[in-house]
Amino acid sequence: MAMSDFRQEFIDFAISRDALCFGEFKTKAGRMSPYFFNAGRFNDGDSLRKLGQFYAKAILAARLPLDMLFGPAYKGIPLVSTVAIALAEIGYNYAFCFNRKEVKDHGEGGNLVGARLAGRVLIVDDVISAGVSVDESISYIHTSGAAPSGVIIALDRMERGSGGLSALQEVRNAHKIPAISIIGLDDIVKYLRSRMDLACNLPAMETYRALYGAD
């Protein structure tokens, strides 16, 4: 399946689950956004299964190097689990691991759960805002003697932060690893151009991209 094909299918899927909505929403940065993406809307077994399959398609299409998967708490925990299952179903069986927010002082102890971090580790998350969770994940990986090999998220908002770069671009520059998304803002704009019933949202989306889009 071509890259553009599954991106369009993912947008259809996200809209059908109300994970991608259009209107007027305030972002963490205080900007008024004409769209909102909430991965928490993939909140039943079927939608989580399909979400994992889209991540798997994006990972394989990008040919990301990896030996295992890591999901940062909290949203990364179900994500890394369903992505591992989706990859295994098509013949790619990878170990996975996730962290706790609080260190466990009994039982096995520590703040990591799952397979031991080793080799090339791909980080699986929903979105990146300030990149804090990525920095923490990379710290866990390095401390364990493993190597971060990339980051994959569901949506790249493609808007600049404090400088001219987007969060994904900052991750690439800071850590020298590939950082990709299933879809980006440009994919949503392109999708709206093909949907007469949703085209009314297009002017606001293009204006937002012009105002806040990364270089």
Active site residues: 104, 106
Q: Which of 77, 58, 69, 92 is nearest to 149 (CA)?
A: 69
| Contact call for residues 123 and 150 (beta carbons, < 8 A) | yes
Task: Using CB atoms within 10 Å of the CB of residue 90, give its burial: 0 to 12 exposed, 13 to 18 middle, 19+ buried.
Answer: exposed
Tell me the sheet residues that pair with 33.
25
Residue type, position 183, single letter: I
DSSP state of 115: S
Residue 9, number of CB atoms within 10 A of its CB: 15
Positive or negative CA dihedral for 159, 71, 154, 13?
A: negative
